[in-house]
Structure 1
Amino acid sequence: MNQPQMRRREWMLHCSACVATLAVAGALSGPVAAQGRTEGGAAAARAPRRILVLGDSLSAEYGLARGSGWVALLEARLKAQKLGAEVINASISGDTTSGGRSRLPALLKQHQPTHLIVELGGNDALRGLPLKMTRENLAAMVQAGKAAGAKVMLVGMQIPPNMGASYARDFENSFKTVAQAEKVPLQPFLLAGVADRADAAEWFQGDRIHPLAKAHPVMLDNVWQVLRPML
């Protein structure tokens, strides 16, 4: 096991001690990319581009000053690069894939996005929900986005091994399974480059789960690697 893997494992082991707190608080969290083509050519032709982000606390600026999370930084980067895109952040701390799936139809109707970023699933795992249900919910959200004419990408997550190593591994692979089946791009681990740093403890809030503001540009770069070619 190399050093980044060891540091990531240490971070996830530490996270397992925080699961009870997360369950009570209802706050979660919370690349190699699985490349794929998406549908939605008609939506892509609309102007301006509208990017809908459907996520949990990692995207909802939990514990951060407003405007410092990766979604807000994404909007600023798009403006700086004159890409002409509006960003709608529909993330809610503690949300699950079931919650996102139930909220998505109304959001699609209201905002008519050209692009949809789904960053959900971590709370499912921390609650020990069946992975089959998580995969079905993720697939349903991807399908709904494509049916509405949006280009869709998934953002994956990893979890501490408190539910068992097999569950953690299968959870991580669930995002790849859905992305490959639905032929959409995947960013496998939003916290890559943050959780596996040598000084990772200095990049997280007191709960050791939610990143500090200084980590969010790294998280944005992770998403940007996959999102930019879609634009």
Structure 2
Amino acid sequence: MPFKAAHGIFIAMVLMVLSVARPAAAEPVALVGFGDSLMAGYQLPAEDAFPVQLEKALREKGAEVAITNAGVSGDTTSGGLARLDWSVPDGTKGVILELGANDALRGIPPEQTEQNLDKMVSGLKSRGIAVLLVGMLAPPNMGGDYGERFNGMYERLAEKHQVPLYPFFLDGVVTHADLQIEDGMHPNSKGVAVMVERMLPVVEQFLKSLGERD
């Protein structure tokens, strides 16, 4: 056999052995941030939206994760329920579910909001998709009775479905004008960074639980 041919065969065999020995790159954990304008990144550059900033923060800490932004500005829980199946593709491991703020702003009965969220959590779990539930607080102008009925539903749902709960999405931002855009309701880029920082430990624990499920 000519030397060049033998050399070529040897190189091919070495490359084949190396390709077998090399471990396959780990597939990133697929998450979906499902919510309203607070998730979508209202009036912010796409790269400053919560799912993008959260993915970056997790990757900086070594987590292999890909987070899809499925936030829709103005969405209510009824709207979320209607689009849930096609907004969360097969292969998704977990959903960060954040909805309810627009229900409160519109004065929708909390019982209806809770029922919609209940159906969403049940639907995701039936597909084998884990849920991290994110809570909101009713505006004070809705009155004490409304606030009590609304604010307590997230904890009830978390207990019912045995899913983790992050109690208040806007924690650390809602009372700080410098972390909000001009409407005084939505976070600016710095505000989103604060939200990510505060929520990061909960999301890391959520990711860990996904690994334990596999």
2:150 pairs with one of 171, 174, 179: 171
1:209 pairs with one of 160, 185, 197: 185
Is 1:61 equivalent to 2:41 in the alignment?
Answer: yes
1:88 pairs with one of 45, 68, 76: 68
Structure 1 counterpart of 2:131, which letter? V
1:180 pairs with one of 156, 159, 162: 159
Partner of 1:141: 120
Cα distance in 2, alignment partners of residues 223 and 102 from structure 1: 27
Q: CA RMSD in A?
A: 1.5
Report the Cα offset of residue 111 of structure 1. 4.0
Cα distance in 1, alignment partners of residues 161 and 123 from structure 2: 11
Report the Cα offset of residue 144 of structure 1. 1.2
Is 1:114 equivalent to 2:68 in the alignment?
Answer: no
2:103 pairs with one of 108, 116, 124: 124
Matched length: 182
Which protein has the larger Cα radius of gyration, Structure 1 or Structure 2? 2
Partner of 2:79: 99
8 Å CA contact retained: 2:138, 2:146: no
8 Å CA contact retained: 1:155, 1:223: no
Cα distance in 2, alignment partners of residues 178 and 112 from structure 1: 24
- Could you say what secondary structure the match of 1:90 adopts? strand
Report the Cα offset of residue 59 of structure 1. 0.8
Identity level (%): 39
Report the Cα offset of residue 189 of structure 1. 0.6
Matches within 5 A, 1:142-161: 142-161=121-140
Cα distance in 2, alignment partners of residues 144 and 133 from structure 1: 16
**Which 4+ stretches in 1 moved above 6 angstroms?**
none
Q: Deviation per CA, 1:109-139, whole angstroms, max 9, x where unpaired?
A: x342101111000001111111111111111
More helix by share: 2
